[in-house]
Amino acid sequence: MNNLFISYDLNSPGQDYTKTHEAIKSLGDWAKVQKSLWYLKSQYSELQVKNTLWAAMDRNDSLIVVNATTNCAAWEGLAHPDVSQFIIDEWSK
């Protein structure tokens, strides 16, 4: 089982959070930690969770799933390409 943290921004005006919340809840035991930060205990990997959630989101949204069990992460739509590269470069230092 994986200990996952999910953070997201739904960027379109008038976003309906229901699809994203229901997708998270369908993947395991969960807790809503903050408005857009969730903890998820799941059999699924960070990549599987990211893919499932991303399918429920708009392409201008952003999402990161951090696996605290394996020290891995997966993401989509981060603010700038440099952010992705920074995370990759710094992750295992």
**What domains can be seen in the chain, in order of their start residue?**
2-90 (3.30.70.240)
Whole-prediction pTM = 0.93
Please list the residues that pair with 48 across neighbouring strands.
Answer: none
5-28 confidence digits (pLDDT tens): 999 999 988 787 999 999 999 999
21-29 long-range contacts (CB < 8 A, ≥24 apart) are 22/56, 23/52, 23/53, 23/55, 23/56, 24/53, 26/52, 27/52, 28/1, 28/4
What's the pLDDT score for residue 16?
79
CA angle centred on 59, ends 18 and 24, rounded to 5°: 35
- Average pLDDT, rounded, for the chain: 94
